Chain A
Amino acid sequence: MKQHLGRQSGVQKVDVNLLDGKVDVTPADDGRIDPIQLLKATYDSGVSTAELGMTARGKIVKDSSGDLALQVEPNQAYTLEPNEQSKQLESLAGAETMVTVRGQLYKKPVGKKKPEPPHQLKLLVLEVQKE
């Protein structure tokens, strides 16, 4: 699995802890990393992902449906799941202000042993980090 993940675009380093199943992925400074591709690569390697979280820096924008989203690249944005943390970010929508957030992009559906990787991810903001 480490090799599968290490081959993905934008990945600099992969650390796997066999004891607790924790995998840390360090993106390359200049590369674009795609969490959906990481989920697919993990699935293809024969294991299932229970959770995927990320720390990302970007701008708060409104997507085509009018929902809040975190834009991390000019053409890469994640719609925010509405919660207390995302409400705090509402005032920044459309501004040039950059924010760093930690959140959950994927959680395995209950009752499914090895679900297919999703095609779209929503970001559940867990923490808005202070600059």
Chain B
Amino acid sequence: MKRTAFMLVLLGVVVVVPIAEAQIKHIEMRVEGMT
């Protein structure tokens, strides 16, 4: 039982962490016509 729970947690870490790390870090724009 404990082993199954451990494996599930491990699987969650392996699958979720890389996706959670992925993101847009910064956006830079150059605009025209601003007053």
Q: Which of A65-86 contact B (CB under 8 A)?
A: 71-74
Contact mask for chain B residues 16-35; partner A; CB cutoff 8 A; 1 contact, 0 none = 00110111111111111110
A110 at the interface (CB under 8 A from B): no
Q: Is A124 part of the binding interface, using a Cβ–Cβ cutoff of 8 Å?
A: no
Residues of the A chain whose Cβ atoms lie less than 8 Å from the Cβ of B27: 24-25, 27, 33, 35, 38, 52-54
Contact B24–A38 (Cβ < 8 Å): no
Interface size on A, residues (CB 8 A): 39
Asked if A57 is at the interface of the complex by the 8 Å CB criterion, the answer is: yes
A-B contact pairs, 11 of them (CB 8 A): A16-B34, A21-B32, A21-B34, A23-B29, A26-B26, A33-B24, A49-B31, A49-B32, A56-B24, A73-B19, A98-B18
By CB atoms of chain A within 10 A, which of B22, B23, B24, B34 has the most?
B24
- The reply to whether A27 and B31 form a contact with Cβ atoms under 8 Å apart is no
Q: Are B24 and A52 in contact (CB under 8 A)?
A: no
B14: min CB distance to chain A, Å: 8
Contact between B22 and A59, CB atoms less than 8 A apart: yes
How does the 8 Å CB contact mask read for A31-64 relative to B, with 1 for contact and 0 for none? 0110100100010001111111111111100000
Instruction: Tell me how far the C-beta of B10 lies from the nearest C-beta in chain A, rounded to whole angstroms.
Output: 15
Q: Is the CB of B22 within 8 A of A47?
A: no
